A and B are shown apart, each in its own frame.
Chain A
């Protein structure tokens, strides 16, 4: 669900555009620490993955289905800066090649779906990781909670932007209640599926889950005898 042209007024779109340019610029520099010279091919492939996973429909029941937004998932899998970069590139390609999301709303879409979901997802994930016991089996659940939290927060940021530059006078408390309520439900799906997907990856290639790397490094090699 991408914001189209004309949803927010021009000054607000310019403001979010400036924020997005700054954030993507910073992410370009910081992502090099996460990926070094592999940045272009790796981030490109991860972006293609996020694009594909957004096309994977999850049935909700009664014939309706939803799909992942993937911001928190990307943050846990490849680190926050690379994730901001990848989701931003996905939004850019969707806007220019698929006409999904207006070009003047690109900044707004990046702020909402790349910046907010990734940052909130990563912060919640890291806080949970620091607070809870350091066990690999908890990583999927932590990622799930992080993804769950990221969706209603992004919806609230949208309401905030709408309060600043909205084009119709909707009572804000009604809008906030509606958006927060609906997106809390959507967040449940996002959280459960993100958690399950991270669980599947942790089981097979834990080294690919960037959020699990501190745990992996502290893990000791165990040599078990046969039959034990």
Chain B
């Protein structure tokens, strides 16, 4: 958390992928994900080709594959869904390891896993090779509305401040012997959330006043 800039997913490096302009990387990710999603699920060789392309990009970026693979856990809830699919879907049945499952469900579940994993790995590669500041500049070059980019910039800038504040509140609670175990402890946690909102909102007001006093007119200078 003390790492000046960069965020938790960023993997510092100087590869061609790290140096590539952020707007091109975002466009490439979008194009890749759209192509993967639009590919019919029985075109198996194509998915192998996508995986190879992705593997080459990850290889060039010099981000250790284990670093990325460990972080694919974000898709876990949907893996559960994909595993359940063969059992709840209808249609002709087929046998897998002696269990009757739906053929469509099985295909759809596998397709979901493959497409989801390709998407998550591609997104992780973008996140690992791009600094937040570069990403914001890239989005601006892609004509994302200035106002939206500014909101994002403020969010990214104060994200660690706000999450650290929450972390300190947790340490304070725990050092007073509190540990949340069941719904009876919700009021304490909800009060913490309330306090966090008040602190964040008041910080926003102070930031705004500080910016006004430095000549802010609604646009950030470059």
Contacts and interface: CB of A to CB of B under 8 A. Distances in A.
A58 B191 CA distance: 12
Interface residues of B, number: 85
A150 B177 CA distance: 34
A99 interface: yes
Interface in A3-60: 3-7, 9-10, 13, 24-25, 28, 37-49, 51-53, 55-60
Contacts of B8: 98
B37 A51 contact: no
B198 A205 contact: yes
A126 to B, nearest CB: 20
B198 A208 contact: yes
A2, A37, A42 — most chain B CB neighbours (10 Å): A42
Chain A's interface size range is 35 or more
A38 B159 CA distance: 18
Contacts of B107: 168
Contacts of A3: 78
A139 interface: no
Contact of B148 (A24, A53, A56): A24
Given A6-B111, A169-B105, 8 more contacts: A6-B114, A9-B38, A40-B147, A45-B203, A48-B159, A98-B74, A99-B127, A103-B119
Interface of B: 7-9, 26, 29-30, 33-34, 36-38, 41, 71, 74-75, 77-78, 85, 88-91, 104-105, 107-109, 111-112, 114-116, 118-120, 123-124, 126-127, 132, 135, 145, 147-148, 150-159, 161-163, 165-166, 180-183, 185-187, 189-198, 200-201, 203-205, 207-208, 211, 218
7 shortest A-B CB distances, which residue pairs?
A44-B154, A6-B115, A5-B119, A168-B108, A200-B194, A196-B190, A45-B204
Interface of A: 1-7, 9-10, 13, 24-25, 28, 37-49, 51-53, 55-61, 68, 77, 85-86, 89-90, 92-93, 95-100, 102-104, 167-171, 174-175, 189, 192-193, 195-201, 204-205, 208
